[in-house]
Structures are given as structure tokens and as C-alpha cells.
Amino acid sequence: MEGLEINIINYLNLFSAEDDTFRFDSEHYQKIYREIIKRIKNKPYKKLSELIIRPVMTGHTPSMKVDRFYGGSVKFIKTDNLRENRISGEFSHTLTAEGNKEVSRSSLQEGDIITTIIGATFEIVGRTSIIQKEILPANINQNIALIRVDKSLINPDYLNIYLNTKYGRNLLYWQSRQTGQVNLNCREVERIYVPLFKKLEGSVASLVHKIEKLKIEFKSKYAQTENLLLEKVGLNEFSPSREPVNIKNFSASFGSSGRLDAEYYQVKYDDLEEAIRKNSNYAIIGNIRTDNFRGLQPEYVEDGEIDVINSKHILENTLDYENFEKTSSVFWESKKRARVNKGDILTYTTGANIGRTQVYLIENKALASNHVNILRLKKGYNPFYVGFVMNSLIGRMQTEKFSAGSAQAELYPKDIDQFIIPFCSDENQTKIMEQIEESFKLKKQSEHLLEVAKKAVEMAIENDEEAAIQYINDNVN
């Protein structure tokens, strides 16, 4: 019996008169949950049900058969979009005003908190984020629960941080149940215990506002860096043509490209190529690279030691390092071709966001999936600069050109080989790289402050409120 966790529960205690529930699943009675509940109940606390202005509810999916419900400006948040304290912008669907009206009860407001309640694993359930005004208008599907608190009773920023701590997340696990998949219902979400620290609540809310400000500054700095790039390669005044017709003879069209789709020959693509060739030094990627290929279909292992990078992990401004999938060391050893090295340029190649490109910045062992392209450059070429160009307007327009005319958007290695990369002086490349570094420092600061906020709430539960506030004061800079 050594090494086994055994927790003996009296049969009478399987029924909770407080919640009017009967739980027979052994996972619900693990010692870790009992210890967490004991700690929280030693502090001022309330159930979540006592802090909300309306019952927790899930969203719904409007009929997929009705075309007019989809394709509008309302973000439709699903499980894949909801990460720890973050909403990913890769929306597979958006709703029209009419589609949103069909599910108007779950239409989101600034300050709402959403959490995943259904998933294949515990890792997916309990992901929680607060709604900022930048994401609106938005709605949620049936796998996500909406929590709308009474702001006179609790600050939603504080509650969101608490739900992202090990205590809040574990209490969501405590209420969940595993059948074919892990799931929670809305009433179970309402039963979790929330510690109340009025002084700390204000400090955490203030910290969250700094985090959001840093995120906005990061996005602004990144945009400024793209403008600097366009200026230094002579494209700051570039305005692509909207001319719908482009007449080409056979030798300048199918005879050289093999493409028959009219979209490929739009005037704006010729304008971009002409502007690059006229205003800057440039190179074709096929002439400056050593390797250019896609990764391989991975063999996923839930508790594996090796990271797997999917296309969904290539975000607008960075890689989603915290949420990589996993595989085994055995699989990594057998798939040398799909290995990712520090400095590799990774590109999203299939689906709605093709062309997104980021450079792998860390030393950790990782593999790329079959929808991620790996590009390596010859010595003397800066992958960070080239990757940034590929992720800018310059690269996105070329992605648009090469993927045009296909029912399923695809960008192949042979297409990437044809990309034209404009180069500026080494001095200006250095300036651009410095600005990229400055923008990512802002991102790192926001991530640091988020960890400080979570740790402070955990300290208040484990020790006291004063120690938690002092921790914030000591670490906020």
C-alpha cells in the first residue's frame, strides 16, 4: 500500500446538506482538496454564489446551418481561445449581430469572467480570464461559463487572479467530474470558496491595471517597430493598388508561375515587389536559407517531456511558450527532421492565420507539427530580422499572394522560398532589433507582475494579508 493515497470518508459525509449534493467519485475527496478548503475556511470567505449578480451560465452555439449568423465582428470564444488569463485571437468563427442576438444572454461585458468547464483533460478545464473592453464585442459557446460578479462585493480583477492561482484552479478541479471527459456544470462553479481580503483586493486590482497597461504598450511598441522597418526599407509610403484587373501575357503568367488563379496576379502584389526592388537591397529566401521544410505529425503525450509547437501557438506578436503540447523523449529522438532549434523561424502554414511568423527564442527541446514551417538561414543573415519582416505587412502580403485561389489556405515551403526580403543597413537592422527587444521587455514585465499578483493571493491564504501586500510592494518593480 506504500505510495498510495487513501482517504477514508464516512458514508454520511458523501451527502452535503450545505450544497444539496451527493458525490460518490473518489477524486472529489482527495486530501489536497481537503487541505485547500481548510486553509481558505480559516480566512474570511464566501461561496462564489454569494458574490454574483446573476447565476453562472454557459454560452450556446447558433445554428451552423444559418450562414447569416456567422462572419461578422462579434468574436465567438471557444475552448481553444481561452488560456490562463488570456484570450487568444485565433477565432475560428465570428458572429454577426443577428447571430449574436440568438445567444444574447451570454453576450459579454467588460469585467465579466469566463472559465472553461468542459475539456479532454484537467489542463483544459478551469482556464480563466477576465474580459477587457479591447476584446468586445464577444460571446461564448457552451463549453465556457460566464461569471458576472457584484462589484460592490468583490473586485472582478481580484477574483480572476484568485481563480488563476493554484487554490482557485484546484477548487474548480475539486468540483469537476471525469466521465468520458472532464466537466463542470454552472452550479458546481458557484460552489467554490473565495477568500476575501479587502486590502489585498485593492492592491491586486491596481497591479492588474499595470499589467493591462503594459500589454497595451507592448502592442503599441511592436507596431512602432513595424513602422520603423517600413521606413528603413523605403516602404513607409507604400500604398498597394486597388486595381482589380491586371493583364499579363502567357510567359509572364502561367508560363513562368504555373498559376491560373486570377487572385495571384493582382496589381498590388506587383506593386509590392517593384517597391522592394526599387527602394532597398533585397534577397530571395530560397537563396539565403539552408533549410526550409514543415514539421511532422506529432505523437502527443499528456505528461511528455518535450514541447510540441502547433500552428495555434504562433501568435500575432510572440510564440505561446506556456501552452505548447507535449510528446515523449523517445518520439523526439526518432524525429530529427521536425526538431526546432533556437533561432529557427517558424511560420503558421495552414488555416485562417497563415503567414504568422515568430522566431523560437529558447533552448528547450521542441518539435514542430506538420502545419508549422521551419526556416533556417545561412550564416550572416539575422533570423530575428528576417522573421520580423515575414511577420510584417511585407511578408503578410506575400503570404496572401501565394495562398490565393485555394479552398483551404496553405503556404508551402516552395512558396516561402520565393519570398522577397528587403534589407536595410546593419545599423538600422540593429535599431529594429533593439526596439523589438524593448517591446518584449514590456511583455515580460506584464508576465512578471501577473505572477506577483497570483503569488500574493496565495501568500494571503497561506500566511496573512499584510505579508501579501508587502510582497507586492517588494516585487512590483
May I ask the CATH class of domain 238-423? alpha beta
Residues 6+ apart with CB under 8 A from 465: 197, 199, 200
327-363 residue pLDDT tens: 999 999 999 999 999 999 999 998 878 999 999 999 9
Note whether 1-196 and 238-423 share their fold: yes
The secondary structure element, H or E, covering residue 346 is strand 345-348
Burial of 297 (0-12, 13-18, 19+ CB in 10 A): exposed
Q: How confident is the model at residue 264 (pLDDT cuts 50, 70, 90)?
A: low
Residue type for 197, please? F
Q: How confident is the model at residue 183 (pLDDT cuts 50, 70, 90)?
A: confident
For the segment 94-109, the average pLDDT, to the nearest whole number, is 95
Q: How confident is the model at residue 71 (pLDDT cuts 50, 70, 90)?
A: very high
Q: How far is CA 386 from CA 107, 262, 394, 422, in A?
A: 41, 29, 11, 9
HSE, CB side, 13 Å, CA atoms: give it for residue 320.
25
CA distance 11 to 249: 84
DSSP 151: T
Predicted pLDDT of residue 139: 97
Predicted pLDDT of residue 129: 96
Q: Are 395 and 379 in contact (CB under 8 A)?
A: no
Beta strand 138-140 pairing with 70-77? parallel
Residues 6+ apart with CB under 8 A from 364: 307
For the segment 288-309, the average pLDDT, to the nearest whole number, is 93
pLDDT > 60? residue 20: no
Q: How confident is the model at residue 1 (pLDDT cuts 50, 70, 90)?
A: very low
Q: Where are the domains of the chain?
A: 1-196, 197-233+426-477, 238-423
126-147 residue pLDDT tens: 999 999 999 999 999 999 999 9
Percent of the chain with pLDDT over 90: 68
For the segment 161-188, the average pLDDT, to the nearest whole number, is 88
- Window from 197-206, 209-218, 230-239, 245-254 with minimum mean pLDDT: 245-254
Predicted pLDDT of residue 353: 85
Cell of 328: 515523449
For the segment 364-375, the average pLDDT, to the nearest whole number, is 95
**Best CA proximity match to 117, nearest among 89, 97, 145:** 145
May I ask the CATH class of domain 1-196? alpha beta
Q: How confident is the model at residue 259 (pLDDT cuts 50, 70, 90)?
A: low
Residue type for 332, please? W
For the segment 14-41, the average pLDDT, to the nearest whole number, is 67
